[in-house]
Structures are given as structure tokens and as C-alpha cells.
Chains A and B, each alone.
Chain A
Amino acid sequence: MVERSPYLTLLSHLILVLGVLIVGFPLYLAFVASTHTAQDIVQAPMPLLPGSNFWQTYRDTLFGGGSGPGSSAPVARMMWVSLVTALVITFGKIAISLLSAFAIVYFRFPFKGICFWLIFITLMLPVEVRIGPTYQVVSDLGMLNTYAGLTIPLIASATATFLFRQFFLTVPDELVEAARVDGAGPMRFFKDILVPLSRTSIAALFVIQFIYGWNQYLWPLLVTTSEEMYPVVIGIKRMIAGGDAGNEWNIVMATALLAMLPPALVVIFMQRWFVKGLVDTEK
């Protein structure tokens, strides 16, 4: 801040507090709703202080046992499916992008330019655009309702490839040459030098891609039909039966909060690395 006057400080803090309230209130409401019984919530006005049904709601949510008209599959299973999916997507993306960026930057091979542009073009073809054919392929391969079906179509990533490509281009050539003089072959160089040097970029990508994987909605909606394989985001959707049915809003809200938790934790614990990965210049 250019000027330090107490009024300006007060004003800026007021604005910040207002912002926090606007973002935080729905979360608070979801939490409050998850601590009441389904009957209490639908009363008007809705209670604004936490109730006493916390343990009951979360037990029902995590292990099943709700009795609403929508799906009442155990959310613990969904969280597990989501976690596996998100992690497979994240690590798959990072591994493949690292390798493809390595190939593009450090090797001369026929049609290198074409490969590069093909990857580039996929930036314009996210899952949503190619969802019909992709579904066809996945279903023909019998991958519906499997982890493979949930993850593989989402793994290829042009964005991550470009991020690593840009990073590799900044690694000094002398380092490559020093490694050659030291007798390190290409994969050895990749493993011993390039990957350790990229660790902050990897951390940043981990955060971005984990959240991307966890929040997938459209694709899992198509390829999962069995409750066993619902990720939690789909779980929420399936819990809400259409029409005027009396949904168990407390359980829906508890599921929503649970669904928010892992990405939030990843962001909180990886924040330092995340920022470092985006601004770091240490080579």
C-alpha cells in the first residue's frame, strides 16, 4: 500500500472481511445443515446454528444408511474412488508430460515438428469436445465402470507438457554436456538431473492436476453407472432425486463438505511448493 493511514487500513480490512463472509457463508450454511436432521433443515426458517446431529449425519454419509429417495451409497467408497482417480490422473499426467517434454526438448527424431504441433492442437480438444468418440472407444474396450475408464482418457495433457517443455528449455546446455562427459546416458540424465530439477514444477502441477482430477464431473457421469464406481462429485448429483422428493439435505451437505476437503488440504499443504513452482528461478 502506498499510503499508510488508519482509515484506509480499516477500509481495506472491511472489504477483506466482507469478501471472506461472502465466500464463507455458504460453506458455513452447508456445515450447519449437515449437523441437523433432514426434517429440521426443511423447516422455515432454516436454523443458522449448528445442531446436534453431527455424528449421526456423518456416519450415515460415510457408511451409507440414509433413507432418502436418491442414491444412498456410502460416501467413504466414493471418496476412495475419487482419491484413486485423482491420484492416477495426476501422476499419469506428470509422468507422461515429463517424458514427452523430455523427448521434444532433448531429442532429434523424424516428424518432431509434427509431433509437437499434434500435442499443441490437443489443447483445443478438451474431453468435452471429443466426448462422443472417446465414450465410444472406452465402452468398446469394456472400460466402463473401471478405474481405467475413469482415468486414462483424462491423462494426456498438453498443458503439463508445455510447462515442462518451457522449464527444460531454461536448463543450461552446459549441464547436459557435463552429464554427457560424466557418462550419464539420456535416461540417467532424466532421472538424476532433470526430474530433481523439475521438482518444484512437479509440485505445482500436482496441485493443479489433483484438483482437476478430483473435480471431474462430466466424464465420470458418463462412464460410471454402478454405485461402486461413483466418484464423490457424481455421488452428490445422484443423491439429489429430481422433482419434489424430500432429499436428505443434511447428507447431501455433509457429502459436499467431504468432497471439498481433500483439494483444500492439498492446497493448504502444498501452497509453499506451489508458489515456488510457479515463480522459482533456481537452476
Chain B
Amino acid sequence: MASLSLRNIVKRYGIGPKANQVIHGVNAEIQDGEFVVIVGPSGCGKSTLLRMVAGLEEISGGELRIGDRVVNNLEPAQRDIAMVFQNYALYPHMTNFDNMAYGLKIAKVPKEEIRARVDKAAKILELGHLLERKPRELSGGQRQRVAMGRAIVRQPQVFLFDEPLSNLDAKLRAQTRLEIQKLHRELGITSLFVTHDQVEAMTLAERMIVMNAGNMEQFGTPEEVYSRPATTFVASFIGSPPMNLLKHAPGGRPGSILGIRPEHLDVGDTGWPLQVETVELLGAERLVHARLGDEMLIIRTHEDQGAPAIGSTIHAQPREDRVHWFNAETGQRQ
């Protein structure tokens, strides 16, 4: 186990003035045993960042440390990491046992120890009866567990997960999410988990890195990211439906953007006058899309509050302590 330290990590493709920079200096100190999720929209560089940590992509600038070692120029196998891939990347011609044992075999671990480690991992993941089968005979969820088993048996310093849940169906995804959490509690290995799904990020992360267009927008606990988003991007990316960002809200400050989450607007007799445009019922709650002057906003209400008529005017009061202010130019929190 080890801490993981990213110092001003940069990725450029190509050289010279025509180089295309895709990651613009990421700084993060990840504690020993911490579970960190990197989240962002597709193309934001989150997978590239993970692959640089793994050693599958070259690091163009900055310093990457695992424990006390600078690992910038080490091969993946020498970095003492294990990775779980999106498509599992199991070797199709090997049995599940051999898939899990392959890395150890190359590292010349004695046979009895390989057996013992694989059996232990299989027990944790409930794969015991599947070890002699080939990956193609397994379901998606089982393959996923074999891929995790392959990572576990190596007893690495750091686990890297590259969207490992995106090929599972919704139910299995929720279940596997819980399993990963349990696994992390048991093994306590520093983990870096990439996803584009904010629910996964919020539920799994001890701390999360929100990325956008190659920049790290915020690095903090899920609570911090949700309640004190550092930028307008984070505010609109985390939370569903996203935070309302209003430039011309009543009582707004010039040069600032007012942010208010849909659940922090109370419908009542006073407050902003809103024109109702659409209403969506999502079971326990209702989303009211309404117009405030020239801007649209969303209010989340309980289903038992009743639906306002479309076209009618309602009043909504933002909760004072839940209002966020952002700089209109830079998008930074004020």
C-alpha cells in the first residue's frame, strides 16, 4: 500500500509548437488507502490520466510518485499497480485460474503461493467454482469479478479501475458498486477509479477529482463537491438535475452568476415569480421547469405537493444558505 502523488502532470501528443496538450497540469495528493474517483464528461482526459498512472501512456511533464518512488519512466509491471479494464481484457484462451495467475507466473512466484493467492481471491469474489472455466463461459458480471481477481492476486500498491462497471446492466452495476466498496474496506488498497457516471462517483468516492477539458476542476469529498462546487462546471456536472445557474436573478450581483440547486428552491407564496413551462413526474418527486425572466430553471418538489398548472405563475424562494456565487468571467466560486 502506498500514497499516490501527482505533481503538475501534463500530457501532450506530438512535439514542438504543434503539440496538442490534452492534460494541463493535474496536482493531487492521494493518501495511503484512499479511494479516489476521477469523474468527468467523455473526452475530458480522465482515462488518459489513469493510463499515465498505469504507465500505458507516457507522461509528458510533471512527476508521478507511488509511495516514495518516482515512477515516471517505469514500465507498468514495475510500478506495482493492478488495473481493471473496461472490457475486462481477460485472455480468452486461458482458464480463469490462469488469467488470474498469469502475472504471478511471470513474476516467478512459487506455484503453491500462486495457488493460495488465487484461491483466496476467488473466495473473496465467490469465484471458486468457476476457476477451471474459460472467460467466454461466464456472464458479464462474473468476468468482471475475474478481472478484479486478477488485480487482487497481485497484491499491488495501487488499484486502477477504468470504467469497470460501464458494461454491466443497471442492477448488476449497483450490486458491483457495493462489492467494490466492501472489497476496498477489506483490503484497504489505494484505489483510483475512473467513471463518467456521477452516481458511481458520489457513492464510491472518499474523495473525487472532477475533470473538464484536461483540467482538474475540483478535488474533494463528495459532500464538498456537492455542497461547495468550485466552478460552474462542477456545479452543473454533479447533481441531477444540475444546479440552476442564473445570470439575471433578482437580487443578483453584477458580474456574478447565482447558483441554486433545484432541491433548494421552496415553492410558496413569496419569492421569485416563475412561469411554469413543463412538469415531469419522477415517482417520489416532481421536476418543474419554469421561466424566470429570460432564463430557465428547474425546481424539485415532492410528488405530494401537487403539480402546478402549465402556464401558471408560481413563486419560489431560494434558501439563503444554499445560494452559490460564481464569477461570471472565470466560472470560479466567489
Contacts and interface: CB of A to CB of B under 8 A. Distances in A.
Contacts of B107: 183
Given A172-B87, A174-B85, A180 B56 contact: yes
Q: Which of A172, A181, A182, A193 has the most CB of B within 10 A?
A: A181
A183 B109 CA distance: 13
Contact of A178 (B55, B78, B85): B85
A229 to B, nearest CB: 40
A283 B92 contact: yes
Given A180-B76, A183-B77, A282-B136, A175 B89 contact: yes
Contacts, number: 63
B54 interface: yes
A191 to B, nearest CB: 11
B317 to A, nearest CB: 52
Nearest to A178: B89
A282 to B, nearest CB: 7
Contacts of B93: 193, 196-197, 199
Nearest to A176: B89
A184 B150 CA distance: 14
Contact of A177 (B78, B89, B106): B89
Contact of A181 (B81, B87, B88, B136): B81
B77 A180 contact: yes
Interface string B144-180: 0000001000000000000000000000000000000
Nearest to B108: A183
A237 interface: no
A71 to B, nearest CB: 48
B51 to A, nearest CB: 8
Interface in B70-116: 75-78, 81-83, 85-93, 102-103, 106-107
Given A175-B91, A197-B93, A183 B86 contact: no
A192 interface: yes
Interface residues of B, number: 25
A272 interface: no
Interface in A143-188: 172, 174-175, 177-184, 188
Given A174-B86, A192-B91, 4 more contacts: A175-B91, A180-B77, A282-B136, A283-B92
29 contacts: A172-B87, A174-B85, A174-B86, A174-B87, A175-B91, A177-B56, A177-B83, A177-B89, A178-B89, A178-B91, A180-B56, A180-B75, A180-B76, A180-B77, A181-B54, A181-B55, A181-B56, A181-B76, A181-B81, A181-B82, A181-B103, A182-B77, A183-B103, A183-B106, A184-B106, A188-B106, A192-B91, A193-B93, A282-B92
Interface of A: 172, 174-175, 177-184, 188, 192-193, 196-197, 199, 282-283
